[in-house]
Structure 1
Amino acid sequence: GALERMSILALGIMPYISASIIVQLMSTVIPSLEALKKEGEQGKRKINQYTRQGTLLLAVVQAVGMCAGLIGQGITLSSGLAFYIPAVTSLVAGTMFLMWLGEQITERGIGNGISMIIFAGIVAGLPKLIMQSVSSVDNGQTSLIGLVIFGLLSLGVLAAIVFIEKAQCRIPVNYAQKQQGRRIFTAQQTHLPLKINMAGVIPAIFASSLLLFPASLGQWVGSADPNAGLIKRSLQDLALVLSPGQPLYLVLFGALIIFFCYFYTA
């Protein structure tokens, strides 16, 4: 089913997210990058350029890995450069287009480009998910009460997320009475609003992209094979342990979210 829907956008925006993680983490340990962050708009443009270059490099590596995985499954007509060159070029072009689209969304003030693209991908799958849920109720696989409870819980979680995202910590600020020339300004009291969740959704996106990488490696080396090499079996076992829903995945996911929240807020 997944191969039937495969397109030039198969790599998605993940290479760009991974490159952003690498550049931003390196900016805390490399003095030259740290200095660029303090140079204002000019330094920001240079860092964005490094991020684009890293995106291109990671997209090429991931595209080659994806093509190798397809060849390993025996579903391609060719296994040489005649397949690699057009396939890798198409996949990389798709990722670079998404990167450009995300930057345009951000620059034009519509919202965070990365978040908007990921949100669009999630929303695009909702109609199919709703139809599957209705079909499972009709077939008796799921009870109607259970589906209603799940829907109410989902709405409750969504409301809690919106509440936390919009929550503010208001710090009181007092202005003393002062005089300028003949004008006297009375004392005023206001507040400084600080968001509770300053990092937004970026920590969750970064954490999921890091944990997705081992699963991608496991897919590239193909399905489990007793005769496979030690490295291949290790990658496949690692991908299985770090698959969504596993205990280790949940622990690492939470720890990475906390780390990136602290990293962005600090």
Structure 2
Amino acid sequence: MLETLRNAFKIKDIRNRIIFTFFMLIVIRIGSQLPIPGVDSSVFANWFDSQTADGMGFFDAVTGGSFYNMSIFALNITPYITSSIIMQLLTIAIPKLEEMQRDGEEGRKKIVEITRYLTIALALIESVAMAIGFGRGGYLTEFNALNVIMVVTTLTAGSAVLMWIGERITEKGVGNGISIVLTINIISRMPDDIGSLYEQFISGKSVPKGVLAAVIIIAIIVAMVVFVVFLQGGERRIPVQYSKKIQGRKQVGGQSTHIPLKVNTGGVIPVIFAQSLLQTPVIIASVLNKGNGNGIGSKILKGMSQSNWCNPSQPIYNIGLVVYIVLIIAFAYFYTSITFNPLEIANNMKKAGGFIPGIRPGKPTSDYLNKILNYIVFIGAVGLAIVAFVPIFFNGVFGADVSFGGTSIIIIVGVVIETLKQIESQMLVRYYKGFLND
């Protein structure tokens, strides 16, 4: 990784892209500290500290502390992420959008444009709900129309600016703009989490106990990172052979290639889907100050809350953990089914004269790909469930209270690997251009 960056800085164009990305990230971090006019930040911070909803901690992590500070970037890029997921789902459901997706670069531009408008609409809806909700809760300096409009405008504009910055990083920076914005937000919260772990498990302990605790914490984090690296990079390569064709007096084709099937086909999306489905009701109940009683509804909400999982004194709530793991596996299959179509791939191979050795073209190829894919998706989904489970286990059993978890590690590792690949590909393109010009 360090060698790749060192070589990248030797090339002026790539060096400028890295510097541009760095300055954009500085702008993001400055904006994350600028408070929204009309919001009583101290009162809001006290309210946030009193919340136990797990989704609040994760939401604060992905916004880089902007939500806790109630800054102009409080909504951050979450509306864009939500709109992108919605567009992916709608592409499968609406034939017109599916046709756009197949139209190449022109169709992709139209889908990106629709995603932008949907992002602004979602940001507007969320900011209106937050402004009115916080106004009624007494978190605004004054609850009047002018203050509400100011908060709504600031939150919506902040989300739009971050979306624009993300796209500029993709265009003029190192690529993966939105993913890099999300990653730097998560990383920015890690010093606080490390400080919390130090205060909880190391500070005040004897030297042997403190050293042992530090070694265990570092070993767990390193082991999870290594596991995620293998999970993200693992793939099954299906060999494909293309038959030779006669064109004039020459034989063309006949080359061998492969179809790379990633073990973790869905990335972090299945975990986010499962987490959102379980945590959204908990967050809503927390904002409305509901779910604190002893009724059946309160117990269900407690079962959906990660803070009650793996608690030795309340094992009944582990049912929620089982549901969470089942949802991760189910969403891994669901997301793969809408992003990977074995029948379409089999038909395209057949038209191009390609075949998998030992498998007949057409439907037998599709069935074979489906069979292999089901095995791979299950392995990837179990791997995701393990990564998501480990932080929950240590939080429940040992009380390790940190905002980042398995989801954050998957995002960080995935984005770092992908960004390095982007830089390497840009270096390779520069090398070939220079070779051809010579």
Which TM-score bucket, shorter chain as reference? 0.7 to 0.9
- What is aligned with 2:268? 201
* Per-residue Cα deviation, 1:160-192 (whole angstroms, up to 9, x for no partner): 21112122323334567888888889x987442
Is residue 76 of structure 1 aligned with residue 140 of structure 2? yes
- What is aligned with 1:192? 258
- What is aligned with 1:229? none
Letter in 2 for 1:256: F
Is residue 158 of structure 1 aligned with residue 225 of structure 2? yes
Which has the higher mean CA deviation after the structures are superposed, 208-217 or 89-98? 208-217
Letter in 1 for 2:258: L
CA distance in 1, matches of 2:336, 2:69: 35
Give the CA deviation at 1:113.
Answer: 2.8
Give the CA deviation at 1:45.
Answer: 1.5
Which has the higher mean CA deviation after the structures are superposed, 128-137 or 204-213? 204-213
CA distance in 2, matches of 1:19, 1:144: 45
- CA change 1:209–1:53 in 2 (3 A) is farther
Give the CA deviation at 1:12.
Answer: 2.1
Which has the bigger relative contact order, CA under 8 A and spacing at least 6? 2
- What is aligned with 1:126? 190
CA distance in 2, matches of 1:173, 1:252: 34
- Contact 1:59–1:95 (8 Å) recurs in 2: yes
Query: Residue 236 of structure 2 aligns to a residue in which SS?
Result: strand
Query: Residue 158 of structure 1 aligns to a residue in which SS?
Result: helix
Is residue 5 of structure 1 aligned with residue 69 of structure 2? yes
- What is aligned with 1:230? none
Give the CA deviation at 1:240.
Answer: 4.9
Which has the higher mean CA deviation after the structures are superposed, 94-103 or 249-258? 249-258
Is residue 263 of structure 1 aligned with residue 322 of structure 2? no
Letter in 1 for 2:139: I
- What is aligned with 2:23? none
CA distance in 1, matches of 2:86, 2:338: 13
* Per-residue Cα deviation, 1:6-58 (whole angstroms, up to 9, x for no partner): 21111122211221222221221222222212222222122112211111111
- Contact 1:211–1:249 (8 Å) recurs in 2: yes
Gaps of 5+ in 1: 227-232
Which has the higher mean CA deviation after the structures are superposed, 57-66 or 69-78? 69-78
TM-score (norm 1): 0.78
Query: Residue 71 of structure 2 aligns to a residue in which SS?
Result: coil
- What is aligned with 2:285? 218
- What is aligned with 2:379? none
Gaps of 5+ in 2: 1-44, 49-66, 310-319, 342-438
Query: Residue 239 of structure 2 aligns to a residue in which SS?
Result: strand
Is residue 17 of structure 1 aligned with residue 81 of structure 2? yes
TM-score (norm 2): 0.50
Letter in 2 for 1:140: K
- CA change 1:225–1:202 in 2 (3 A) is closer
Between the two proteins, what is the percent identity of the paired residues?
34
- What is aligned with 1:106? 170
Is residue 35 of structure 1 aligned with residue 35 of structure 2? no
The count of aligned residue pairs is 258
Letter in 2 for 1:162: V
- 1 or 2, which has the higher helix percentage? 2
- What is aligned with 1:87? 151
* Per-residue Cα deviation, 1:86-138 (whole angstroms, up to 9, x for no partner): 00111111111222222233334624333222211111111222222223312
CA distance in 1, matches of 2:178, 2:273: 11
